């Protein structure tokens, strides 16, 4: 039994999981169609009536248009993280564990935002990426140049780049103090 307070969280989590699962299914379906192979593997993962519904939906004009629109939007993103489904919280936790293994006295302080930014965008040389690495490299260079001062330079990097500007500079500067 789920408490009323936790119901929203559970429903949201299940919804996100199903959304991710459908994305993987669609990729598997499109690869199977492209190769001309049968859909037996998909039938093992999803009940047949659900799979038929999803395939019929994916083949509708509105779904295809939405897919094209989302693809165009993703292509405009120029500073993507490379963590896949891992969360920033998990990354920060792993960085903290790695740092504490290297030190004799454990340090409970969170890794800096700049460190998290660098680690979240480090690319694997054996992988092919669809997006450019140029803007990310520029941000990392700017971050390392400004890293000599005592402030967390991540905020400065993100404020300087208007394309990824999210918060008003006044707000950012007020929280830096």
Is 81 among the domain residues? Answer: no
DSSP secondary structure string, 151-174?
Answer: S-HHHHHHHH-GGG--S-HHHHHH
Which residue has 């993507």 as its token pair?
A: 80
Whole-model pTM: value is 0.51
Residues 155 and 92 in one domain: yes
Answer with the one of 33, 53, 76 that is the final residue of a domain.
76
Domain of residue 33 covers 4-76
DSSP assigned state of 80: -
Per the structure, the count of domains in the chain is 2
Q: Are residues 71 and 97 in the same domain?
A: no
How do residues 53-106 score in pLDDT, each as one tens digit? 988 999 999 999 999 998 888 877 777 788 887 888 889 998 988 888 877 667
Indicate if 149 and 169 belong to the same structural domain.
yes
- pLDDT averaged over every residue in the chain: 76
């Amino acid at each position: 039994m789920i408490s009323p307070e936790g119901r929203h969280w559970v429903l949201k989590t299940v919804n996100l999981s199903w959304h991710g699962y459908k994305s993987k299914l669609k990729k598997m379906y499109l690869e199977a169609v492209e190769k001309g192979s049968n859909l037996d593997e998909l039938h093992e993962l999803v009940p047949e009536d659900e799979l038929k519904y999803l395939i019929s939906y994916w083949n509708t004009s509105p779904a295809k248009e939405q897919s094209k629109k989302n693809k165009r939007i993703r292509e405009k993103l120029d500073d993507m993280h490379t963590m896949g489904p891992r969360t920033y919280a998990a990354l920060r936790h792993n960085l903290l564990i790695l740092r504490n293994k290297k030190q004799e006295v454990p340090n409970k302080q969170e890794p800096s935002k700049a460190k998290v930014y660098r680690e979240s965008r480090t690319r694997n040389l054996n992988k092919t990426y669809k997006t450019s690495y140029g803007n990310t490299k520029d941000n990392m260079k700017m971050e390392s140049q400004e890293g000599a001062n005592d402030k967390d330079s991540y905020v400065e990097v993100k404020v300087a780049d208007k394309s990824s500007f999210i918060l008003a500079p006044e707000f950012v500067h007020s929280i830096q103090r």
